[in-house]
Amino acid sequence: MAYVIGIDGGGTKTAVAIASDQGELVEQFTVGAINYNGGDAETIAASFQEMFDRIKACCGSSGPIQQIVIGAAGISNPQVSIKLEHSVRRQGYEGALRITGDQETALYGAHNAMQGIILIAGTGSICFGVNAKGEKHRSGGFGHLIDDEGSGYSIGRQLLSVLVQAEDGRLSDTVIPAMVYKQLGLHTVQEIIGFVYSKETTKKNIAALAPIMTTACEQGDEQALRIAKRCADSLHELLVPVIEKLGLQDSPIAVAGSVLQQSPFVQEALANKLKETYPSTRLILPMKNAAYGAVLMACKLLRERSSCVTRTSWPADGR
């Protein structure tokens, strides 16, 4: 059997799909994040080591790996693609490799084709679309320091902002501070400030607070409901240029990422706003995940190359 590997490198975790060169899944698993924008090199190296140890254990000497496709967050930074390729090559893989934005692999998996719209709101946020002519447009996804509105990171930051404003008297009657303190195991504003500005704290740590918003919304907390609405408004703003520039006013919108798939308050607010602006469209769940979308892309790349690829990427003994 010949294999292809699809890798979805999100902001919090990395999903890996191993498949035959005909797209039949063999194994799926997750490892740590491989995003060089906001991640440290040592942790990313460990994620790659674990990933390729498992790939080699699965594929061994039973057949060559013909293509690897990585859909990764953060490749707007050109250095990220270079670092990702170096990380792969250090594992001994010398075969065909394609590195692209995770929005492309997510779109492919969501619609089982490189066409339509995908809206992703996880640790970060991005919207991407392709129309029937093959024209593409992307909005957002430029990183948590200057963008990622409507993302888990953005929600986490707003929750922390509510906490400090409640503590100094600008806000009142909110359950958010108690929930944040409890999740972080902290007790004072000073400790919160220490956590936020610690060099050890990453955007992943801030984004991990996002589920608090949904829990607080379920309790009717006004501040949490406002955050959910702001989040939906921001995600709607991401959709508009993609819909308009590509003429996809009737296209269903696949939604991915923890914010959209785990917060009914954000999803409902976004769906209601879309009814007002684009009544012919609707939100749908992806058909397949982004890792399998990377597998589909890998199979397509194989078909586009010569019909017979003979290069063996791993030594015969699988080392």
Instruction: Give the tens place of pLDDT for each residue, 109-150.
Output: 999 999 999 999 999 999 999 999 999 999 998 888 899 999
Instruction: Give the tens place of pLDDT for each residue, 215-233.
Output: 999 999 999 999 999 999 9
Asked if the model's pLDDT at residue 319 lies above 60, the reply is no
From start to end of the chain, where are the E strands?
Answer: 3-9, 13-20, 25-32, 65-72, 96-101, 116-121, 125-130, 136-140, 253-256, 283-284
CA distance 71 to 317: 29
Q: Angle at Cα 82 formed by Cα 138 and Cα 259, nearest 5°?
A: 40
Q: Rounded to two decimals, what is the model's pTM?
A: 0.85
Of 172-176, 242-246, 277-281, 304-308, the one with minimum mean pLDDT is 304-308
- Quickly count: other Cβ atoms within 10 Å of residue 22's Cβ: 10
Q: What is the pLDDT of residue 143?
A: 85
Are residues 234 and 154 in contact, defined by beta-carbon separation less than 8 angstroms? yes
Q: What is the pLDDT of residue 73?
A: 81
Q: Taking every pair of C-alpha atoms in the chain, what is the biggest distance, in angstroms?
A: 69
Q: What is the pLDDT of residue 310?
A: 46
Q: What is the pLDDT of residue 309?
A: 45
- State mean pLDDT over 58-78: 85
Kindly state the tokens that stand for 241: 């240029």
Are residues 55 and 16 in contact, defined by beta-carbon separation less than 8 angstroms? yes
Q: Compute the residue count for the chain.
A: 319
Asked if the model's pLDDT at residue 315 lies above 90, the reply is no
